[in-house]
Amino acid sequence: MTTHPFMDLLSAREGHFRYESGYHSDLWLELDLLFLRPRKVQPFVSELAEKFAQHGITAVCGPLIGGALVAEQIAAELDIAFFYTERVVRPQHGGLYPVEYPLPKSLREAAREQRVAIVDDVISAGSAVRGTLTSLQAQGADVAVVGALLVLGDSAAQFFEPRGIPIESIVARPSPLWKPEGCPLCRAGVPLEDVTDSSA
């Protein structure tokens, strides 16, 4: 398989990881390193902005931190409104998707009736974009499209497409996700690394 140029910007490692969503996987991307050289990322952000523009959006919203960095660049390129959501862990929540992504109070009224694209740097299980969708819809925003520079696996499609929300990306790649009780790496006794500070 030909490697997309965007993939050259990512630092990946293999192992056994618990994502923020609660799912397990064998892949971890060090996404903080992606934005060390913003100019290298910009051509891919511009390509994603062109895809979003076809959906007639008036605003773009990204979860902190990586999604917000991408969203701000897209908003500047399309000259539309920029919003972001903040990560809040629900206390005593042991299941899947234990994290919420509320809009800051100062932005909530401005988001009302906007036609919004939700964007993240990478979407896997989709914890951050799902939480952002809930918050935007609660404020009366119309979410027109969801996207990322890289989409891993089909979890996002399974959630958003039945809701009539298309997904745009620069690169899409297969990637396994397992619920804890069905994880083959757990059964094999592979040590688990908790990376729940990120938004996969």
pLDDT for 76-124, tens place per residue? 999 999 999 999 987 766 678 989 999 999 999 999 989 999 999 999 9
199 occurs within a structural domain? no
Please indicate, yes or no, if residue 121 is contained in any of the structural domains: yes
* Side-chain half-sphere CA neighbours of 61 within 13 A: 35
Name the residue among 153, 157, 191 with its Cα closest to residue 18: 191
pLDDT at residue 195, as a whole number = 80
Asked if residue 193 is part of any domain, the answer here is no
Per the structure, the count of domains in the chain is: 1
Hey, what are 90's tokens? 């629900």
- Residue 65 has which token pair? 């931190």
User: With bands split at pLDDT 50, 70 and 90, how would you rate the model's confidence at 1?
Assistant: very low
Q: Does residue 107 form part of some domain? A: yes
Which of 34, 35, 14 shows the shortest CA–CA distance to 25? 14
What confidence tens digit (pLDDT) does each residue in 125-167 have? 999 999 999 999 999 999 999 999 999 999 999 999 999 999 9
Domain, as residue range, for 165: 41-175
19 falls within a domain = no
DSSP assignment string, 73-140: HHHHHHT-EEEEE--EEPTT--SS--EE-PPPHHHHHHHTT-EEEEEEEEESS-HHHHHHHHHHHHTT
pLDDT the model gives residue 90: 79
Does this model's pTM top 0.95? My answer is no
118 located within any domain: yes
Percent of the chain residues past pLDDT 70, beyond the cut: 95
